[in-house]
Amino acid sequence: MLIGDFFAGIGGFHLAFNDLGVGCEYACEIDDYVRKTYNHNFNVARFDYDITKVKDLPDFDIFCGGFPCQPFSMAGLRKGIEDERGKVFLDILQILKDKKPRAFLLENVKGLLSHEKGATYAWMEEQLSDLGYNVFGKVLNTAEHGNIPQNRERIFIVGLLNSNTFEFPEAIPLTTKIRDFITEEDVDEKLYYENNAVYPELKKHITSKDTMYQWRRTYVRENKSKECPTLTANMGTGGHNVPLILTYDNRIRKLTPRECLNFQGYPDDYEFMPKLSNTRAYYQAGNSITVPVVKRIAEKILKYM
């Protein structure tokens, strides 16, 4: 059995399905640096660049894709299908129509559900159903469904040709802690905040080693849930989305790119492409899916297939 890995990112879908014995011979990803990280970790027979231009696709059993979320994100302009990035959903529909894989798994931000008061998602579901798929969607949180302490809510949309029922995985106890994902090794000095203008305010409020903080423009926000806030693609550019920790030697820093991969469930032997800048590494980790969550959904998909 094979997946088609569209909007492949750095290979989270590939990893999740491979762990269950499902192969991947085809991928498609438009970002050159992301493609290099993917190729550094995987070999696929064919790797396309632009989903809007693909032709003569090979066969695959399951279509996978975390299609662009910016058009539907609360942090973006929320133009949805009117946004050029949102229009790629039409390309997804065309591929599903042409190839008719037995199943699909799509991922996007939670904001997709509320976009245009739910009309956008309802339209998408209708289009997918018209292709013959039974469609099921649900918002899952990494902290509740992946046993990783990251507050990351994403909608997952499953389509099946041969089953009119599907049950998403249930929530499971969170047995891990933030410290399980912090390495404290080979940390670039540039990640520490001693020379930052807001350091005196950070030092005053960042007092616990068991949780994370964020600088929210004018104040320090403590994540009292003791979870990592949602990792984002723009963590490397600074701003209020950067998770901060207090280290064992009482210094304040942001997460390393490797630690961000840890909070997305990537294995220790997974690597960014060589000589990748921190900014691009943060982008790649923050833009990814959480591998254990996808793996649990994939197990269910295979069962119902």
Q: Helix (H, G, I), strand (E, B), or coil: what is residue 58? A: coil
Instruction: Inform me whether the pLDDT recorded for 214 exceeds 50.
Output: yes
The answer to which of 29-43, 64-78, 203-217, 259-273 has the lowest mean pLDDT is 64-78
193 or 80: whose pLDDT is higher? 193
C-alpha pair distances (Å), 165 with each of 101, 129, 250, 303: 17, 14, 52, 11
Q: Which of 24, 69, 228, 260 is catalytic?
A: 69
Residues of the chain with CATH 3.40.50.150: 2-174+282-304
C-alpha pair distances (Å), 176 with each of 20, 146, 231, 268: 23, 10, 17, 16
User: Where does residue 186 rank: exposed (0-12), middle (13-18), buried (19+ CB within 10 A)?
Assistant: exposed
- pLDDT tens track for 35-60: 999 999 999 999 999 999 999 999 99
Q: Helix (H, G, I), strand (E, B), or coil: what is residue 92? A: helix
Class of domain 2-174+282-304: alpha beta
What global pTM score does this model have?
Answer: 0.93
pLDDT of residue 79: 54
Annotated active-site residue 69? The verdict is yes
Per cent of the chain over pLDDT 90 is 83
pLDDT of residue 112: 87
Confidence of residue 186 (pLDDT cuts 50, 70, 90): confident
Query: And the tokens for 2?
Result: 């094979």
